């Protein structure tokens, strides 16, 4: 039985437009573009040659030098964003019961940099060339595990992998644990660092990524008529969720209250969304029902908005189906226009942005929107940051394989 209210008390983000909550949020409000030609490998032979890479990131600011060598880049991101969220929530100086604190951080692809490096070593130098951490650096669960070790989080531990909805699922699952009273504190989110040749070539083969290589800063253009695919990004987002009673007991700042979660499957296709948007429609309705609110209460949606032809029009149609006439008045934006698609980390970073929209009353823009698409007829935020008296917001994530997840937050105290 879900008896406990849950609030957001800490936020951390490692993104292509800024490392840390302040830089990330200021970048969103400024409409900063984080997409450029790939620097981590030579992309000349690839159909798509751009990505939203994390810049100016030094893992040793959050992890000791010896441990850095034992972790893949996606674990570095998770450790950093978790340390930020812990500090932001004041848990770095507060003594809490580690048995009542857990972590759920997922990834979609895991340690691809390590995997590629290990395979090259194996082929060139044989099996004795691999180090003892070759396996642990690759495993998807190791981001959550290392965060657990670093901060003494001995409660529930999990690492979902649901493609592009992973981060949202992680936060939703942590929400459920706290609602049940099975923990007092949960760290939750997603991390991804797959800007490396193997996964990048695979996504190129799906032809779902933009090939606007001569105009990379305009490549990610959600809901625009001339969109031609998503742009891969990398990064991590972590949030601290607490039972309201626990947060009140330590007089901590509260960003927002998490009130609803939905999770559905399309059961349709490996990559394409169900054409009628059935899974998207059901997941938004599930989240609304879970939150106990009617559709007109929602004032803003941080959309999945990938910049692919299919996703954007199906998501727009699903919103119209769920919200009816109110859908015409909803404010909608996709921050993937600035940070690209962070895959498993996308939902977590977008949830951070959604919470900040509730907390500050500022809605980030969808940049690169130049020509309206008749099949995407909603009220997208496209002319810079908008101010609003926002009380309830929704964050959507829809992943390859048909996984759908939705979170609803409201202003604390409203």
Beta strands in 218-284 (DSSP E): 235-243, 256-265
The answer to whether residues 378 and 328 touch, using CB atoms and an 8 Å cutoff, is yes
Catalytic residue among 4, 113, 246, 341: 341
Beta-carbon neighbour count of residue 256 at 10 Å? 26
- Interval 85-130: pLDDT, tens: 999 999 999 999 999 999 999 999 999 998 889 889 889 999 988 8
**Checking DSSP bridges between strand 256-265 and strand 6-15, what pairing results, if any?**
antiparallel
What pLDDT score was predicted for residue 34? 98
Asked whether the beta carbons of 236 and 230 are under 8 A apart, the reply is no
User: What's the confidence (pLDDT) of residue 13?
Assistant: 98
Beta bridge partners of 189: 105, 238
Q: What's the rounded mean pLDDT across residues 199-214?
A: 95
**Residue 216 φ/ψ, nearest 5 degrees:** -60, -35
Chain segment 270-328, per-residue pLDDT in tens: 878 899 999 999 999 999 999 999 999 999 999 999 999 999 999 999 999 999 999 98
Q: Output the pLDDT for position 134.
A: 87
- In this prediction, residue 271 carries a pLDDT of 78
**Would you say residue 133 has pLDDT above 90?**
no
**Distance set, CA 238 to CA 37, 106, 295, 337 (Å):** 27, 10, 27, 21
368 pLDDT exceeds 70?
A: yes
pLDDT, mean of residues 40-62? 96
User: Which domains, and CATH codes, for the chain?
Assistant: 6-249 (3.40.47.10), 261-410 (3.40.47.10)
Q: What is the pLDDT of residue 147?
A: 98
The DSSP result for 304-365, as a single string, is ---S-HHHHHHHHHHHHHHHGGGGGT-EEE-THHHH-B-GGGHHHHHHHHHHHHHHH-EE--
Buried b (16+ CB within 10 A) or exposed e, 68-77: eeebbbbbbb
CA 297/CA 410 separation, integer angstroms: 10
Give the separation between CA 407 and CA 6, rounded to whole angstroms. Answer: 12
Q: What is the pLDDT of residues 224-256, one digit of tens each?
A: 999 999 999 999 999 999 999 999 999 999 999
Q: What pLDDT shows up at residue 2? A: 61
Q: Supply the pTM of this predicted model.
A: 0.97
Q: Percentage of the chain surpassing pLDDT 90?
A: 91
Torsion of Cα atoms, 77 then 101 then 180 then 303, to 10°:
-20
> How far apart are alpha carbons 230 and 372 in whole angstroms?
18
Confidence of residue 351 (pLDDT cuts 50, 70, 90): very high
- The predicted model gives 353-381 an average pLDDT of 97
Of the listed 164, 204, 376, 406, which one is catalytic? 164
**Residue in the block written with tokens 């800024």:** 18
CA distance 54 to 111: 16
From 4, 304, 376, 406, the catalytic residue: 304
- Alpha carbons within 13 angstroms on the beta-carbon side of residue 140 total 20
Q: What is the pLDDT of residues 286-295, one digit of tens each?
A: 999 999 999 9
Residue 233 CA to residue 55 CA, distance in Å, equals: 11
**Above 60 in pLDDT, residue 1?**
no
Residue-wise pLDDT for 381-413, tens only, equals 999 999 999 999 999 999 999 999 999 999 998
| pLDDT tens digits for range 165-184 | 999 999 999 999 999 999 99
| 304 belongs to the catalytic site | yes
Residue with tokens 């970048």: 27
Q: Is the confidence at residue 3, as pLDDT, over 80? A: yes
CA distances from 130 to 139, 141, 193, 197, 299 (A): 16, 20, 21, 20, 53
Whole-angstrom CA distances from 184 to 118, 181, 195, 240, 389 are 40, 7, 36, 10, 30
| Residues 256-273: tens digit of each pLDDT | 999 999 999 999 988 788
Contact 222, 365 (CB under 8 A): no
| Model confidence pLDDT, tens digit, residues 136-165 | 899 999 999 999 999 999 999 999 999 999
Q: Annotate 112-150 with b (16+ C-beta within 10 A) or e (fewer).
A: bbbbebbeebeeeeeeeeeeebbebbbbbbbbbbbbbeb
């Amino acid at each position: 039985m879900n008896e406990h209210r849950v609030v957001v008390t800490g936020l951390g983000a490692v993104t292509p437009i800024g490392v840390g909550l302040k830089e990330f949020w200021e970048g969103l409000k400024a409409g900063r573009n984080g997409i450029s030609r790939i620097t981590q490998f030579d992309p000349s032979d690839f159909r798509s040659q751009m990505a939203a890479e994390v810049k100016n990131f030094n893992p040793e600011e959050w992890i000791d030098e010896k441990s850095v060598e034992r972790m893949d880049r996606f674990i570095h991101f998770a450790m950093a964003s978790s340390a930020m969220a812990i500090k932001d929530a004041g848990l770095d100086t507060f003594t809490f019961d580690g048995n009542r604190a857990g972590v759920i951080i997922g990834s979609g692809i895991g340690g691809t940099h390590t995997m590629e490096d290990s395979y090259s070593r194996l082929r060139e130098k044989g099996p004795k060339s691999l180090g003892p951490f070759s396996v642990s650096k690759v495993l998807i669960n190791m981001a959550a595990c290392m965060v657990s070790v670093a901060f003494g989080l001995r409660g529930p531990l999990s690492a979902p992998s649901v493609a592009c909805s992973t981060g949202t699922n992680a936060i939703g699952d942590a929400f459920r644990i706290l609602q049940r009273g099975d923990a007092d504190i949960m760290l939750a989110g997603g991390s991804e660092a797959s800007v490396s040749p193997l996964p990048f070539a695979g996504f190129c083969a799906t032809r779902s990524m933009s090939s606007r290589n001569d105009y990379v800063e305009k490549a990610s253009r959600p809901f625009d008529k001339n969109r031609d695919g998503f742009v891969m990004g990398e990064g991590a987002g972590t949030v601290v969720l607490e039972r309201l009673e626990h947060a009140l007991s330590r007089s901590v700042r509260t960003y927002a209250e998490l009130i609803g979660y939905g999770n559905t499957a399309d059961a349709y296709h490996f990559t394409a969304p169900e054409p009628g948007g059935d899974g998207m429609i059901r997941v938004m309705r599930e989240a609304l029902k879970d939150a106990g609110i009617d559709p007109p209460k929602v004032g803003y949606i941080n959309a999945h908005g990938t910049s692919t032809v299919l996703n954007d029009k199906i998501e727009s149609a699903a919103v119209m189906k769920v919200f009816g006439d109110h859908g015409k008045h909803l404010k909608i934006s996709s921050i993937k226009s600035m940070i690209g698609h962070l895959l498993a980390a996308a939902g977590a970073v977008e949830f951070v942005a959604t919470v900040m929209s509730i907390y500050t009353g500022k809605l980030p823009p969808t940049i690169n929107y130049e020509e309206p698409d008749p099949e995407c007829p909603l009220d997208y935020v496209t002319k810079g940051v908008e101010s609003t008296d926002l009380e309830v917001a929704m964050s959507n994530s829809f992943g390859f394989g048909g996984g759908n997840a939705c979170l609803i937050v409201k202003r604390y105290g409203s």
